[in-house]
A and B are shown apart, each in its own frame.
Chain A
Amino acid sequence: MADDVNNVSGKKTTGLWIFFGVAMLVAILLAVFISPWASSSPDGLEKVAEDKGFMEAAEDTEPTWTHSPIPDYGDAVGTKAAVGLSGFIGVLLTGALAAGVALLALGLGHMNKRRAAEPGN
């Protein structure tokens, strides 16, 4: 219990928006400046597919969705800047969409509450 008590004992915690800002900055820095240097080796599933001889199943299949604006995170362009930029776009896009989906879920919740509050329900 000792560490729980430590948390209570009034150590100043980070302000909410400072915390959000720092967290978002970390995400952007990782995506822009670290991801271009990430390992380009096949991942676990790709490696198993190569070793066990079923990679062709994917290579011989036409992708069903061909409208991805930035396939393979800018790897095709071949520059570190392209990967960093695609990381930047991806982070902002993912964050905005997730917040949007949360707003949608919240909206659905409010609608439900309102419906439940109506007389006769």
Chain B
Amino acid sequence: MHIPDGFLDPKTWGTLTGVSAGFTGYALYAAKSKLNEKVIPLLGITAAFIFAAQMLNFPVAGGTSGHFLGAILAMVLLGAWPGFLVMVVVLMVQCLFFADGGLTALGANIFTMAVIGGLMSYYLLMLSKGALGRSLSERTSLLTCTAVFSWISVVLASIACSFELAISGTVPLGTVLPAMVGVHAIIGVGEAIITTVVIAVVLQSRPDLVDAYSGPPELGKRVAREVA
């Protein structure tokens, strides 16, 4: 879903560049409460994994491919703002080093995939997890919400992308919206599978490294001991 140069008009990409710069600046301050010397390697590894996984285009219906997005994975693992920074780094590297996504569209791509597909979807996930957590175990409600909202994150991002294209006058909303949502509803299934499997594996081996998991407190203390 990386928008190239030329799809967006200056008012749209200009506005979204400003919005994304604002979010990124705030994230640099807000992330600090989650960061310590031991979380930093996890942040780097998460970014590296998302970069790698985004290269793996899988075929979906009708000569189309989709690939992993990773915003929900990053935020569930690291918390909203460190996860947001990870997505910004991934999108910047893709744009500047690999010519994936236009430079004028970088702000729009951050907005689409890290604000709408990321922060907004993550906070919806956490709200639902809170509601679900009253009747299900922490682990089950986290994995269920991870599956559902990683799918939703891809669909929401495709809706945002459609609006950006329509507002730019590139294509009418009625034309682009059903097409984008249709294909990304399928791609989102891949997103849900990958995200849920990775979170389940980390929960199994190191539950203390999953920020969104507020499970047994003993494990949190274990990490505190290791850090100290």
Contact = CB atoms under 8 A, between A and B. Distances in A.
Are A and B subunits of one complex?
Answer: yes
Given A3-B140, A63-B103, A101-B85, A41 B59 contact: yes
A8 B218 CA distance: 7
Interface string A40-82: 1111110111011110011111111101111111000000000
For A20, A26, A52, A98, which residue has the most chain B Cβ atoms within 10 angstroms? A98
Contacts of B49: 23, 26-27, 30
B45 A97 contact: no
A121 interface: no
Interface size class of A (residues with CB under 8 A): 35 or more
A65 B48 contact: no
Contacts of B63: 41-42, 47
Contacts of A34: 56
A23 B67 CA distance: 19
B216 interface: yes
Contacts of A105: 27-29, 31-32, 35, 82, 85
B15 interface: no
A52 B35 contact: no
Interface of B is mostly: helix
B139 to A, nearest CB: 5
Interface size class of B (residues with CB under 8 A): 35 or more
Contacts of A53: 171
A58 B105 CA distance: 11
Contact of A68 (B1, B42, B99): B99
B64 A47 contact: yes
A95 B47 contact: yes
A64 B5 contact: yes
B14 interface: no
Contacts of B187: 44
Interface stretch (B114-122, B123-131, B176-184): B176-184
Contact of A98 (B29, B37, B48, B97): B48
18 contacts: A13-B222, A20-B41, A27-B52, A35-B52, A38-B67, A41-B63, A42-B63, A44-B1, A52-B176, A58-B4, A63-B5, A64-B102, A65-B102, A92-B48, A101-B88, A101-B89, A102-B35, A110-B32
In the complex, the 10 A-B pairs of residues with the closest C-beta atoms, listed nearest first: A109-B32, A61-B6, A98-B47, A99-B44, A95-B48, A65-B103, A71-B99, A31-B52, A68-B99, A39-B65
Interface of A: 1-4, 7-8, 13-14, 16, 19-20, 23-24, 26-28, 30-31, 34-35, 38-45, 47-49, 51-54, 57-65, 67-73, 83, 86-87, 90-99, 101-106, 108-110, 112
